[in-house]
Each structure stands twice: as C-alpha cells, then as structure tokens.
Amino acid sequence: MTDAIEIRHNIHPEMARAMDSEALRRHFRIEALFVPGAVRMTYSHIDRLVVAGVVPLADPLPLPTPRAIGQARFFDAREGGVINIGGPGRVVVDGQTYPLAGDAALYISRGAGEVSLSSDDAADPAQFYMVSTPAHKELQTQIVDGARANRLELGAQETANRRTIFQFLHPEVIETCQLTMGLTRLHPGSVWNTMPAHTHDRRSEVYLYFGLPEGQRVFHLMGEPDQTRHIVMANGEAVLSPSWSIHSGAGTSAYAFIWAMAGDNKDFADMDQLRIEDLK
Ligand SMILES: O=C[C@H](O)[C@@H](O)CC(=O)C(=O)O
Ligand SMILES: [Zn+2]
C-alpha cells in the first residue's frame, strides 16, 4: 500500500476546542511521511494541500496519481515544491534530471508529466518532502538553491528564537500560482518559532519539523489565539494549520522546519500579528 493517500477533512475551530490530544493528532498531525522505499501522501481539504514524503532506495519511485487528485497525471492541474531533507538524490521531470539536496527547493509546474524520484545511494537515501496545491497556469519547473533564495535572519538569542529563514518559493524569487515554501533553521540554543504568533485567514499552512535530535520533541502550538492547544511533534512529522489557527512551536532542542502556504495571496507579510499577552 505504498501509494495510498490519506484524506483529511476540514475542522471547524469550535470542534477543535473539544478535541483531546489523540483527536488533535489524528486530524492535524501527519506521521510516517518518510518510509524507506515508499511514497506517502496526505490530501487535506484545507486549500487542497497535498503533503507527501518519498524515500527511494535502490530503485527510482514514480510519483503516483491517486484518484483523489482527480486528474490523469498528478501535475495536470497542480504545482508542487520539493525539498530533500535526506541524502543526495534527484528528481526526473519529463526526462530532465534535477539533482536535489540540502538547502534548495525544486518547483514543479502544472503540466509536468512523468515525475520520478531517486536516491544517489540507497544506504544514505534521499528523503523528499513535497507540498502541492492546485494551479491555474503553467510556469517554469526549476531549482531554487540557497544562493537564490531570500534569506532572513530573525529573532534573538535572548528570546531563544534566533533563526535563519530561506524563502525558496516566494514572489521575489520565482513565480508560482499560489504555493509559497521555505525552510527555517533554529540556531543552537534557540527553540521558539513564530512567537509572537500570527494567523492569516487568507492562507493555510503546513509545517514539517525535522533536524530534531533523537529523543527530542517540538511542542507545536495551534488553535484559535484564545483557545490554544498543543501537539507534541517528533522528527519528520508534519502538522496542518487551517486559516483560523496559530502555528508556532517550542522545541526541547533546536530543529528546522519547512513551511508551505497556499490561498488567496502569496504575500508572506500578510499576517495578523498577535500580542503574546493576548494568547490564551
Ligand atoms: O506565515 C509564515 C510562516 O508561519 C513561517 O514562515 C514562519 C517562520 O518560518 C518563522 O517565523 O520562522
Ligand atoms: Zn504563518
């Protein structure tokens, strides 16, 4: 069942208020994304985000098109962003090879046909993370590397939130239809992301937490600003953030995360900033 897709339905914030830890985890957390030799996909009805993990071993893995996608081929009406958090690998899109590793993202345009993913070394496999959203026009499939990305230095050591943000799929860097995507690395000793927190009703967001040392966890904060909840996240797990939810977190150590957004605009700064003292 490597090609199965899991469907996540929309949750009204009033329902989230009543959820216990188990229900919050079942509806919002995406686990087991990186299974050796497998493609794992989740389809969320928040902005129709598809979240996938692909770990090829000796053989390349073709990207499947589950029935939920509603098209003959995965990218017939979608775009996607791929970041590799594992060993070196490559993505082949219609015969063109894109080597992918480290701080870089591959943008895959609507209209791409055959997509297959490989690891250079099965003993150190690639771990491809992909987020895909509906797309209305064809653009240019291309790699955005760390040098091309917008780079922001945010936070401070004193508030334990010093972090470097790479904006790979960002309007100042590359044209996409609605997807924005990037990677944030916490500096050693910093543990907080996105505090003060924000919401953005115009967009949904999904976080993938990674680079977390063995035995450590991130307490991901979600919920309406005056009804916050937490989900304890392990390395390599993603969490869905509907438009009504904050998305912030504190780790028991430093970590990194990949964020991706989709919705009515691609304006990263269009956030409704919250004051820490207003959170409940
Ligand atoms: O809307 C923007 C997203 O929440 C993230 O980009 C925040 C983030 O990467 C950070 O503050 O470190
Ligand atoms: Zn956000």
Question: What per-residue confidence (pLDDT) applies to 195?
Answer: 97
Answer yes or no: is the C-beta of 165 below 6 A from any ligand 1 atom: yes
SS3 50: strand
Query: Is 198 annotated as belonging to a binding site?
Result: yes
Q: Which of 150, 184, 195, 199 gets mutated to test ligand 1 (max ligand atoms within 8 A of its CB)?
A: 184
Answer yes or no: is the C-beta of 206 below 6 A from any ligand 1 atom: no
* 3 close to 66: Cβ distance less than 8 angstroms: yes
SS3 161: coil
Q: Which residues surround ligand 2, an ion (CB under 5 A)?
A: 205
Query: Is 12 annotated as belonging to a binding site?
Result: no
Please state the CATH superfamily assignment of the domain spanning residues 5-278 in this structure.
Answer: Jelly Rolls (2.60.120.10)
Answer yes or no: is the C-beta of 248 below 6 A from any ligand 1 atom: no
Question: What per-residue confidence (pLDDT) applies to 4?
Answer: 82
Return the DSSP state at 64. Answer: P
Q: Where are the domains of the chain?
A: 5-278
Q: Which protein residue has the closest C-alpha to ligand 1 atom 1? A: 268
- In the beta sheet, which residues pair with residue 262? 204
Whether the pTM exceeds 0.95: the reply is yes
d(CA 229, CA 11): 14
Q: Which protein residue has the closest C-alpha to ligand 1 atom 3? A: 259
Q: Write out the H or E segment, with its range, that includes residue 52.
A: strand 50-54
- Per-residue pLDDT for the chain (280 aa), expressed as one digit of tens each? 345 899 999 999 999 999 999 999 999 999 999 999 999 999 999 999 999 999 999 999 999 999 999 999 999 999 999 999 999 999 999 999 999 999 999 999 999 999 999 999 999 999 999 999 999 999 999 999 999 999 999 999 999 999 999 999 999 999 999 999 999 999 999 999 999 999 999 999 999 999 999 999 999 999 999 999 999 999 999 999 999 999 999 999 999 999 999 999 999 999 999 999 999 9
- Rounded distance from Cα 248 to ligand 2 centre (Å): 8
Answer yes or no: is the C-beta of 247 below 6 A from any ligand 1 atom: yes
Query: Is 200 annotated as belonging to a binding site?
Result: yes
- Rounded distance from Cα 278 to ligand 1 centre (Å): 19
d(CA 234, CA 46): 23
For residue 123, give every residue at least 6 positions away whose Cβ sits within 8 Å of its Cβ, in sequence order, or none.
none
ipTM, two decimals, is 0.97
For residue 142, give every residue at least 6 positions away whose Cβ sits within 8 Å of its Cβ, in sequence order, or none.
106, 107, 174
Amino acid identity of 162? R
